[in-house]
Structure 1
Amino acid sequence: MSEAITAPETLDDEAVLLVGHGSRREKSNEQVRDLAVELEGRLGIPVDAAFLELAEPAIDEAIAGLARAVSQVSVVHLSLFAASHVKNDVPLAVEQAREAHPELTINNGAHLGVHPALLDLLDDRAAAVEAELGVDREEDDVAAVVCARGSSDPDANADVHKLARLLYEGREFSRVEASFIGVTEPLLDDTLHDIAKTRPDAVVVIPYMLGDGVLTGRIKDGAREFDEEYPYVDAAPGEPLGTDTRLLDVLGDRWQEARTGSVEMSCDTCKYKVELDGYEEDQGGARAMLRALTHQAEHADRENVDDDPHVHDAPEKHVAVCTNQTCAQDGAPAVLERLRQAARDSDQCDARITRSSCLGRCGEGPMVAVYPDGVWYGGVEDEDAAEIVSSHLDRDRIVSELVDQTL
């Protein structure tokens, strides 16, 4: 387990934003807020809570509030795995917040992921069920099932299997299986029936969920139905992760990674960066961010503006410059600044120019993507910036010799 994380005394001007999904069940939202309070006590710096949907405040509102008090915000994800919310939705909100608050440094952290503290927590959840059933894994044949939500992202699903295997290693379970309550296979019902063929003494079903919501309820119901169907096997569900203090160990680590620029993601198995069999048509990551920005701009730039006080004028074009590691090393920050300067000097340019996370063309950058045109420029140097602005942004003339791809 990680050691307790405390903030250095020099971080009076820093805050943390803990981002949860959001739920129609206020109890689930309160869990996020409770964790934010506990994390603030652990770190010794302000920690606010925000939500992606279904609850308030939204990320942009929370960051706007923090921007009045601090100069640096580290976004920490209260997400178990890296699926679309972690790879698309939160990065988009962070990019928009950076544009709205250029004076504020915003660090985007990682999801909870696979962490020793979570394995320790899962082990305790399993032990509580064993005590309830009156079995001992060192003496009895006890199988365990780690049941997660299930995702359309193979990288996220693979992490469930990794957790299950790590829970098995070094412990006395006869077997530990990964399963899902929906979206992908193996489904919980199929996994339990498969385990029943080996006739264990007991089966422990651990909901790999943060809260005790609808999906957790389905997992618990599935375990109880299995117990009734197979009288020769004792089975029972455990409790979700909840607000156990070991989550603070993980969140503290993710905060440290975010603020020191050492966030690690599984880029080699990310369907948005590499072509994985069966996922070739999926669009996500920075591409999804850019498409979402374009959609928002089109939605905002509609007729009868005076009738909608929430509408704002949208720029004609959005330009994203990849500032991920390889592009940054090749001069992307200079390209970004030259593009912005050339746009400011132009009387015709109507474009928003922002930094982007990885565009999936590592080694071919710096990459510059222009939307809604769907034109990506590769190998851009800072002296190319003026031509991109004067030709493409001012006069809609693509700079053909710089084109990497079109979407």
Structure 2
Amino acid sequence: MTALVAVAHGSRDPRSAATVHELLDVVRALRPALDVRGSFLDLSAPRLGDVLRAVRGDGHRSAVVVPLLLGEAYHARVDVPGAVAEARLPALEVTIADVLGPDPRLESAALRRLAARGVRFGDRDLGVVLAGAGSSHAPANAAVAAIAARWAAGSGWAGVEPAFAASAAPDVPSAVARLRERGARRIAVASWFLAPGRLPDRVAALAGPEAVVAEPLGADPEVAELVLHRYAAALTGERHTRSA
């Protein structure tokens, strides 16, 4: 069977790698017969090239690399293919799957994280910030903004604003200010991050001590299902629509 090699960005924060491994444990529980392995592009071990070499050494002839990335930005377009090419494994057929986002299952997971903090639909006093990492690749930011607009239309909240921790505008304080202008008396932050780390911590700090901040998506069952869906689609050559 073709191995599934998940690859995350990596972080110096040990909570990040721990969360990735927890997510992959859920993936394994859903597909016990599938060889599922985790890897990282940078800052954490094991690296993608090392895992691909181990997969080949264990007798696999093919692998699907599933980027644990929420958007189609630089890491997906450049770093992942580069790491696969650098591994130089002509005896292993490697297919790179689509990134996880955008997908309704990610939105469901993010909304569940909000609900776990007591956030409910229809609260007209509440403004919600949908906070992501931010990218120099404009379509990746536009996808987050599109999700925020969709939530704003159907949530019954005072408003929903996208915000980014780095590399893009608006930042979190600007998004909070916009929501206050619309009459929001309280602020909640929805996380468009897969795992804890420096950028999610920065978002929480910028939102202020009174804001309700949801946890990253983490080891959510629907996120695990999505990882398997991307794996299966890569095997059949199917690609998902990248627009939000």
Corresponding letter in the other structure for 1:81: G
2:232 partner SS: helix
User: What are the superposed Cα offsets for residues 81-107 of structure 1, whole Å, 9 maximum, x if unpaired?
Assistant: 11111000111222344xx33232211
Match of 1:208 in 2: 192
User: Which of 131, 136, 139 matches 1:155?
Assistant: 139
| Alignment length (residue pairs) | 241
Match of 1:192 in 2: 176
Kept in 2, the 8 Å contact 1:143–1:202? The answer is yes
Match of 2:226 in 1: 250
> How far, CA to CA, are the matches of 1:161 and 1:151 in structure 2?
12
TM-superposed CA distance for 1:125, in Å, is: 2.2
Kept in 1, the 8 Å contact 2:11–2:197? The answer is no
2:208 partner SS: helix
User: Which of 32, 46, 52 matches 1:57?
Assistant: 46
2:117 partner SS: helix
Corresponding letter in the other structure for 2:233: E
Matches within 5 A, 1:167-182: 167-182=151-166
> How far, CA to CA, are the matches of 2:201 and 2:65 in structure 1?
30
The answer to which structure, 1 or 2, has the higher relative contact order (CA under 8 A, 6+ apart) is 2
Q: Per the alignment, do residues 127 and 31 of structure 1 end up closer, same or farther by CA in structure 2, a change over 3 Å counting?
A: closer
User: What are the superposed Cα offsets for residues 49-84 of structure 1, whole Å, 9 maximum, x if unpaired?
Assistant: 111011222111111111122121010011111111
User: What are the superposed Cα offsets for residues 16-47 of structure 1, whole Å, 9 maximum, x if unpaired?
Assistant: 00001111122211222222232122123000
Q: Per the alignment, do residues 147 and 109 of structure 1 end up closer, same or farther by CA in structure 2, a change over 3 Å counting?
A: same
Instruction: Give % identity.
Output: 27
Q: Quick check: 215-224 or 122-131, which moved more?
A: 122-131
> How far, CA to CA, are the matches of 2:39 and 2:156 in structure 1?
40
User: What are the superposed Cα offsets for residues 131-189 of structure 1, whole Å, 9 maximum, x if unpaired?
Assistant: 5xxxx542543221101111111011111112212333433223211111221111110
Q: What 5-or-longer segments of structure 2 have no aligned partner?
A: none
Kept in 2, the 8 Å contact 1:50–1:59? The answer is yes
> How far, CA to CA, are the matches of 2:152 and 2:192 in structure 1?
15
User: Which of 61, 68, 86 matches 1:71?
Assistant: 61
Match of 2:35 in 1: 46
User: Which of 77, 86, 107 matches 2:76?
Assistant: 86
Matches within 5 A, 1:279-298: none
The CA RMSD over aligned residues, in Å, is 2.0
Match of 1:303 in 2: none
Matches within 5 A, 1:7-406: 13-43=1-31, 44-68=33-57, 69-97=59-87, 100-131=88-119, 136-138=120-122, 140-225=124-209, 227=210, 235-264=211-240, 266=242
> How far, CA to CA, are the matches of 1:62 and 1:179 in structure 2?
34
User: What are the superposed Cα offsets for residues 291-322 of structure 1, whole Å, 9 maximum, x if unpaired?
Assistant: xxxxxxxxxxxxxxxxxxxxxxxxxxxxxxxx
Superposed structure 1 runs of 4+ greater than 4 Å apart? none
Kept in 1, the 8 Å contact 2:24–2:36? The answer is yes
TM-superposed CA distance for 1:252, in Å, is: 1.4
> How far, CA to CA, are the matches of 1:101 and 1:248 in structure 2?
27
1:143 partner SS: strand
> How far, CA to CA, are the matches of 1:127 and 1:168 in structure 2?
16
2:95 partner SS: strand
Q: What 5-or-longer segments of structure 1 have no aligned partner?
A: 1-12, 228-234, 269-407
TM-superposed CA distance for 1:113, in Å, is: 0.8
TM-score under structure 2 length normalisation = 0.90
> How far, CA to CA, are the matches of 2:26 and 2:115 in structure 1?
25
> How far, CA to CA, are the matches of 1:223 and 1:112 in structure 2?
26
Instruction: Please identify the structure whose Cα radius of gyration is greater.
Output: 1
Kept in 1, the 8 Å contact 2:126–2:158? The answer is yes
> How far, CA to CA, are the matches of 2:5 and 2:51 in structure 1?
8
> How far, CA to CA, are the matches of 1:169 and 1:255 in structure 2?
32
Kept in 1, the 8 Å contact 2:23–2:218? The answer is no
Kept in 1, the 8 Å contact 2:127–2:187? The answer is yes
Q: Per the alignment, do residues 82 and 170 of structure 1 end up closer, same or farther by CA in structure 2, a change over 3 Å counting?
A: same
Match of 1:308 in 2: none
